[in-house]
């Protein structure tokens, strides 16, 4: 397994993250356990901020909280000078409870409810990223009712299809997101928003996909957004102050993945902006929204090995105490991961096994065919790069409790999310009185 950030093998032959021995973390917090390398998260934040400062452009880097949204992460992002991207009332509430400045929060989503819009407007968030005409009319009406004016970006689809999984490609014409540039709806939305007395149109937003390893897609998106910006300037006399180019910057999950450095992505984007907006009245402020690339490779999930099943001539299954409830990505996207035995990191690999989860579901497989030392019940399995879209997408399928989350740095381990209790699982359950009055069938 590739060791990211501060991860290393210590003198005991144990995996160590943030100066914390994973064997000791298991003893203290149990498993499954999400471990976040705090120093690596902060490093990634600073890489984005430093790269944009070097460009000379005005900018905002907004952490895409959908990747991993807990109060401690919101607070960390705020400390590092980032803005925040939220897509639901839950993410917004989490950010506000963490004390994140509302004016640096951007609200996304293709189906924001009236309650969500009202909550965000009352909190005084910095910007709404409007996704469709229904939302524009709702924003206009609500802002008028409140006697206020709100900042708006229009999400547009530039017709750029990123080389990624079809479920996480978002910039192509056939997408549930945004106003399409090609069919004229984006231009119509600009006209509508710019004429509104209660909407302050800042500019446009474009996002082409996720887990992208090249810059050509971003550069093409900039070119098309710039052409659109020139078009609406000439036709409607509207000038965009902000261009948000989204996120989607890839990370290394396995040796097959070849992401660029943060600075390379940023340089390609900012150079394209300078080139394609050279004839614009003024270079727009550039916003981006990295999520996975900030927290993805900083996360490791620790499991305890339980049972195994050896099918001669076929494969050997090794089961752990988690699975698709704490990491649904292999089942959803056929995502690939690397793993190691955290308690026996120096041992030589001896067998090829497949890591199964404990859910009553044949598709609950975390890793197919990974090389490991001879695996024993009670061993600790560490799966790398689980910081993004693992805790965020975790579920209680089979009534399995969601794991705890720990931040590790400089030998200190801090609990940032408690492990769910059995009582937590039934906290929202209600048994109607009529059911308890039903006669017994026995």
Ligand-binding annotation for 420, yes or no, is no
382-416 core/surface letters (b: 16 or more CB in 10 A; e: else): bbbbbbbbbbbbbeeeeebbbbbbbbbbeeebeeb
Ligand-binding annotation for 292, yes or no, is yes
| Chain centre to alpha carbon of residue 364 | 22
37-62 core/surface letters (b: 16 or more CB in 10 A; e: else): bbbbbbbbbebbbebbeebebebbbb
Ligand-binding annotation for 75, yes or no, is no
Verify whether residue 360 is a known catalytic residue.
Answer: yes
d(C-alpha 321, C-alpha 331), whole Å: 17
Which two tokens mark 375? Answer: 């695996």
* Three-class SS state of 383: strand
Ligand-binding annotation for 361, yes or no, is yes
Decide: 60 and 83 in contact? Cβ < 8 Å: yes
Region class of 288: left (phi > 0), else alpha (psi between -120 and 50), else beta: beta
Taken in order 167, 170, 172, 174, is the CA torsion positive or negative? positive
Ligand-binding annotation for 329, yes or no, is yes
Ligand-binding annotation for 315, yes or no, is no
Ligand-binding annotation for 53, yes or no, is no
Ligand-binding annotation for 290, yes or no, is yes
Ligand-binding annotation for 147, yes or no, is no
Among 20, 69, 360, 428, which one carries the catalytic annotation? Answer: 360
Please report, in angstroms and rounded to a whole number, the separation of the first and last CA atoms in the chain: 56
Active-site amino acid positions: 360
Binding residues: 248, 289-292, 329, 333, 361, 389
Binding residues for pyridoxal 5'-phosphate: 248, 289-292, 389
Binding residues for substrate: 292, 329, 333, 361, 389
């Amino acid at each position: 397994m590739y060791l990211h950030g501060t991860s290393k093998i210590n003198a005991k032959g144990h995996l160590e993250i943030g100066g914390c021995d994973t064997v000791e973390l298991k003893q203290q917090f149990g498993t499954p356990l999400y471990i976040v390398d705090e120093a690596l998260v902060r490093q990634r934040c600073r890489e984005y901020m430093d790269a944009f400062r070097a460009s000379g452009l005005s900018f905002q880097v907004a952490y895409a909280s959908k990747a991993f949204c807990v109060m401690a992460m919101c607070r960390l992002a705020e400390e590092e000078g980032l803005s925040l991207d939220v897509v639901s009332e839950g993410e917004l509430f989490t950010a506000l409870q963490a004390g994140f400045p509302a004016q640096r929060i951007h609200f996304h989503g293709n189906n924001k409810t009236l309650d969500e819009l009202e909550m965000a407007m009352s909190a005084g968030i910095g910007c709404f990223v409007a996704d469709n005409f229904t939302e524009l009319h709702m924003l206009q009406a609500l802002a008028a009712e409140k006697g206020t004016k709100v900042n708006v970006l229009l999400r547009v689809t530039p017709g750029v299809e990123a080389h990624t999984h079809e479920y996480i490609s978002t910039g192509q014409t056939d997408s549930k997101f945004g106003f399409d540039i090609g069919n004229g709806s984006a231009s119509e939305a600009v006209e509508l928003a710019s004429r509104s007395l209660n909407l302050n149109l800042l500019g446009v937003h474009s996002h082409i996909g996720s887990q992208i390893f090249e810059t050509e897609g971003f550069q093409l998106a900039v070119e098309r957004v710039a052409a659109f910006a020139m078009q609406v300037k000439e036709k409607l006399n509207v000038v965009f102050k902000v261009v948000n180019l989204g996120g989607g910057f890839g990370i290394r999950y396995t040796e097959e993945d070849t992401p660029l450095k943060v600075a390379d992505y940023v340089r390609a984007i900012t150079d394209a902006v300078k080139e394609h907006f050279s004839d614009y009245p003024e270079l727009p402020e550039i916003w981006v929204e990295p999520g996975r690339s900030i927290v993805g490779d900083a996360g490791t999930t620790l499991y305890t090995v339980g049972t195994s099943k050896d099918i001669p001539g076929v494969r050997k299954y090794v089961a752990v105490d988690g699975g698709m409830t704490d990491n649904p990505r292999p089942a959803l996207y056929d995502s690939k991961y690397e793993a190691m035995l955290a308690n026996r990191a120096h041992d030589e690999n001896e067998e090829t096994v497949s890591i199964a989860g404990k859910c009553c579901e044949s598709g609950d497989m975390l890793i197919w065919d990974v090389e490991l030392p001879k695996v024993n019940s009670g061993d600790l399995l560490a799966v790398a790069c689980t910081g993004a879209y693992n805790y965020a997408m975790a579920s209680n399928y089979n009534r399995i409790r969601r794991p705890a989350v720990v931040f590790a740095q400089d030998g200190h381990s801090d609990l940032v999310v408690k492990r769910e209790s059995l009582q937590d699982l039934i906290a929202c359950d209600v048994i109607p009185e009529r059911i308890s009055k039903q006669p017994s069938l026995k």
